[in-house]
Structure 1
């Protein structure tokens, strides 16, 4: 089993990796991500799993045993731009390795077990996070999603068919293993933790409009510069989030006309905001938007704020989480919250009892080439996932 995990991991390591940064570019429906999906289908075939797909890009390999509500595990294979190796693929590789370990133990589940790969979990190409699981659960309709475009203007409907294969019909429980994207487990000295829930979070598009002008001949006092309004807003977001003990980030900006010697006419910026409560999220976004609008009024610019996606707070089934955390050699696994969104959250909101296992990340860094997990901790995660699946599939 250790050889299988490490072999699979080494197979994935070069795919979509930047020789310049060491980070990964595995955006949905591009060559790198399609190579990974083909690898997943090949791995399923080698294990005798029945492969089922839908037109959204989601894939499940089924171990057709037993009867009754199916047990599903897995994660995603796409990445953020210049992302880390572990966010998503660790859950997929660990799921396959966990099935191998279960079979080596002689375990025969009493109900079907599937390993899933959900498409566009990061939202790095079409802008809507967890898009594959949203479509599979009906949280987002194909009519809403098909017109989503990437940065080059390519529509989702141009790269995938949108035919629903009903992959989640009959699924009774979902368990997702994921690398931890913070330092909680490092601070606790634990290799594995169980998820209690996901913070509410959203993506907001802020469009600042001003007046294009010459960078040399236009006096500073005569400018209507949307870049200044945006810069103030970014600082205000940082201050408001710090004061509230929450999160607000501007990580993507587009400038028009994007010339070195021109005052811009428009700045479009995307803000990611996350809070412990939905009320806190609404208050934080309102405070930042209010300060931005006030500044825009003074600068002579205009501002439009659009919520592109907002995900509610998710509380995983507490009884399920407690059961998974308890009675393990060496003590209970800690139960921790996460500020990151996951497909497990989408399935939980859709009414499918869901749980998450997290594997320690010694750097505490994620969405970055510095993201990491030690092999020894990954193997603990595989064993923990196999234990969990055996328990739930009895």
Structure 2
């Protein structure tokens, strides 16, 4: 396993990209929960806190692909400083407005404007692709990327919550802003790994979502996001029903560690299985393991089941990213990767909302049915679009990476 990771880390510019990328990922994991904690601390209104955070998340999901499209056209170093500065300004304005007990509509407007924050996972993955496109190292690089993403979501939310509750209400989102400024500066200094701007495919007027296969991937990832979003809420409800509320954090950590462990192991593998078949296998594994939590009678078994369920997430995402680099032209790569992230983000929000409704109506255990239903939808979407995916990746029908 170590040899494959040593190979990519020995590539000039990779260590700097990994370090800067690890810093600049954190704000994306911190801002939403930071806004919630800040507003709850200040006003004690959960509906307002959740709604303002959801406004930021939805705006970020919808605006992100448009920002990424400009980046594909003009390059990261020209676009990222502008949109980052604007987003930071709006986040600071949101914190000031919240501190001054400004009217709720202003909070929503500022949260929506702050949603211009660039989708940094897509920017980082575009750089990995630029370094290793068409090479076996890309598979390992995406696996490392998935592990670093999981780490960001393990560290980021507790950090934001702890700062806002332990220091002052605005401390969590303020730390996210500072990390965004520092991380973006470090990221942009990595000029060696920056992909070139290009719009040479002659299709600049066509929506990237119209490229064959991308819509199928985005829809599948939306359903995958529903699984993740519903499990987050379901685990909290299950732990409360078991009389052990704090166990929810350990259970969710098990999900992340399962994903990280599988991601690291998957990065060491080489396979000659066609990429579309890999995608189908990953989706089937994700759907099947989504059934496991509903079988858990107590917290301990739930933790084990969630760990196993999490093991399908990172490998499936690695396959999705590899597939994306095949079906998308270089001139649309960042935008296409951002649409994938948008699919997951919208799915997570939808899954959380559906889970809340199910809990109120039928109780904690029933909420796991949302994940099972989303898994079935995901499988149907992929099976119905498998022919399109196979055709879209026809020129790279098999990944012929050497084993070992």
Return the TM-score normalized by structure 1: 0.27
Return the TM-score normalized by structure 2: 0.27
User: Whose helix fraction is larger, Structure 1's or Structure 2's?
Assistant: 2
User: Whose strand fraction is larger, Structure 1's or Structure 2's?
Assistant: 1
The structure with higher relative contact order (CA 8 Å, sep 6+) is 2
Instruction: Tell which structure's C-alpha radius of gyration is larger.
Output: 1
